[in-house]
């Protein structure tokens, strides 16, 4: 398997990215190769040359960098030799099996939508994160920022996207799908949520259990929680803030340590025709390693093909 990594993506790149690469290679199967996108000479100056001689890495010279503050669409037009643009070129031509970056998330979205495209029938792709359950396992939350203004048919489809991701990548059988709301009653919530509930109720495409509340995020009541990107991003940032607050106050136990974003590595963009994973801008070496392992797990699961089949047979 060939995994693409943007070496210059992230606040602490390229040093931290290359440190994560070394950690990654220690865990990857022997036949795997990591394709590095970035300015070649700084990479050569920083990396152990025995890694190059091993044949386990390949460097694609991409001297331009899409900065965090760059306009994503403009950057794609004006920086064709950037690590992100080159990465998507290789992904599109199937020279790599997955591409991951902790860099400009907007540019990653542009590349995913315009270079790779969505799976036929997908209205809008979604980003998904994992929240650890108290009794083990994870809750899959989507969307967490890709589409702040999603409509009801998009939320319906998120139920299918999330269910497929939970089952095909993480092995959750017949995952329970809930719609995030301010109450469990059928008619609770704003017009968007009420409309989405009517579409999802009695759905033959996934196991819909009804409305769920914020208090259900970490329980066994639900496996997949669907919400619009505006709401999901607020939930995600609150979870992150809670973890940091408890860390600073010395209140972390074995369970709350699972909220560390470094363990999960990144957030996949699901609903597009290949494996793309977005990492946090402040990613550490551990986060980079786990971001890449996640991208490998998704690519190895044949999730894309299975999701495409599910979308094709979707009743909506």
Show me where the domains of the chain are located.
1-120+271-301, 123-263
Contact 231, 217 (CB under 8 A): no
Q: Which residues contact 208 (CB under 8 A, 6 or more apart)?
A: 159, 177, 178, 179, 200, 201, 202
1-120+271-301 and 123-263 share one CATH topology?
Answer: yes
Q: What homologous superfamily is domain 1-120+271-301 in, according to CATH?
A: Isopropylmalate Dehydrogenase (3.40.718.10)
DSSP, residue by residue, the chain: -EEEEETT-STTTTHHHHHHHHHHHTTS-TT-EEEEEE-HHHHHHHS-HHHHHTTSEEEEE--B---TTS-HHHHHHH-TTBHHHHHHHHHHTTSSSEEEESS-HHHHHHHIIIII-BPTT-SS-EEEEEEE-TTSSEEEEE-SSS-TT--HHHHHHHHHHHHHHHHHHH--SS-EEEEE-SSSSTT-S-HHHHHHHHHHTT-SSSEEEEEE-GGGTTSTT-SEEE--HHHHHHHHHHHHHHHHHHHHTT---TTGGGG-HHHH-EEEEESBSSEEEEE-TT--HHHHHHHHHHHHHHHHTTHHHHHHHHHHT---
Pairing of strands 138-142, 126-132: antiparallel
Whole-model pTM: value is 0.91
| Six token digits for residue 3 | 């995994």
**Taken in order 256, 261, 265, 270, is the CA torsion positive or negative?**
positive
pLDDT score at 37: 97
Task: Look up the CATH number of domain 123-263.
Answer: 3.40.718.10
Write the CA distances from 210 to 222, 226, 250, integer angstroms: 10, 11, 37
Closest CA to 11 of 212, 280, 239: 280
| Orientation angle between helical segments 15-25 and 285-300, nearest 10 degrees | 50
The pLDDT of 138-158, averaged and rounded, is 94
pLDDT score at 76: 85
pLDDT digits (tens, 9 = 90+) for 102-142: 998 888 988 998 899 999 999 999 999 999 999 999 999 99
Q: Which residues contact 206 (CB under 8 A, 6 or more apart)?
A: 159, 160, 163, 175, 177, 224
pLDDT score at 72: 85
Closest CA to 105 of 310, 314, 291: 291
pLDDT digits (tens, 9 = 90+) for 218-263: 999 999 999 999 999 999 999 999 999 999 999 999 999 999 988 9
Rounded to an integer, what distance in angstroms lies between the CA atom of residue 273 and that of residue 283? 25
Instruction: Give yes or no for residue 316 having a pLDDT over 80.
Output: no
pLDDT score at 144: 93
pLDDT score at 158: 97
Instruction: Give yes or no for residue 303 having a pLDDT over 80.
Output: yes
> How many CA atoms, within 13 angstroms, populate the side-chain half-sphere of residue 156?
22
pLDDT digits (tens, 9 = 90+) for 171-210: 999 999 999 999 999 989 999 999 999 999 999 999 999 9
């Amino acid at each position: 398997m060939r995994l693409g990594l943007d070496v210059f993506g992230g606040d602490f790149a390229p040093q931290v990215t290359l440190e994560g690469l070394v950690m990654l290679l220690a865990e990857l199967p022997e036949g795997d190769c990591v394709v590095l996108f970035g300015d070649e000479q700084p990479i050569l100056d920083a990396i152990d040359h025995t890694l190059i001689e091993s044949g386990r890495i390949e460097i694609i010279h991409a001297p331009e960098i899409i900065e965090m503050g760059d306009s994503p669409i403009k950057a794609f037009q004006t920086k064709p030799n950037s690590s992100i643009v080159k990465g998507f070129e290789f992904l599109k031509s199937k020279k790599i099996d997955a591409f991951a970056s902790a860099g400009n998330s907007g540019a990653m979205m542009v590349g995913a939508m315009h270079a790779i495209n969505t799976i036929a029938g997908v209205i809008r792709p979604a980003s998904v994160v994992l929240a650890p359950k108290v009794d083990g396992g994870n809750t899959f939350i989507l969307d967490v920022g890709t589409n702040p203004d999603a409509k009801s048919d998009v939320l319906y489809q998120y139920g299918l996207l999330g269910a497929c991701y939970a089952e095909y990548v993480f092995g959750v059988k017949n995952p329970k799908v809930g719609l995030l709301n301010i109450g469990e009653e059928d008619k609770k919530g704003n017009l968007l949520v009420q409309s989405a509930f009517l579409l999802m109720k009695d759905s033959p495409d996934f196991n819909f259990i009804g409305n769920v509340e914020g208090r259900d995020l970490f329980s066994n009541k639900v496996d997949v929680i669907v919400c619009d990107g505006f709401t999901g991003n607020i939930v995600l940032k609150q979870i992150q803030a809670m973890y940091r607050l408890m860390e600073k106050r010395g209140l972390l136990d074995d369970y709350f340590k699972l909220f560390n974003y470094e363990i999960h590595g990144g957030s996949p963009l699901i609903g597009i025709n290949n494996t793309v994973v977005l990492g946090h801008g402040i990613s550490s070496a551990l986060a980079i390693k786990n971001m890449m392992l996640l991208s490998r797990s998704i690519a190895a699961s044949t999730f894309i093909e299975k999701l495409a089949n599910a979308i094709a047979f979707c009743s909506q």
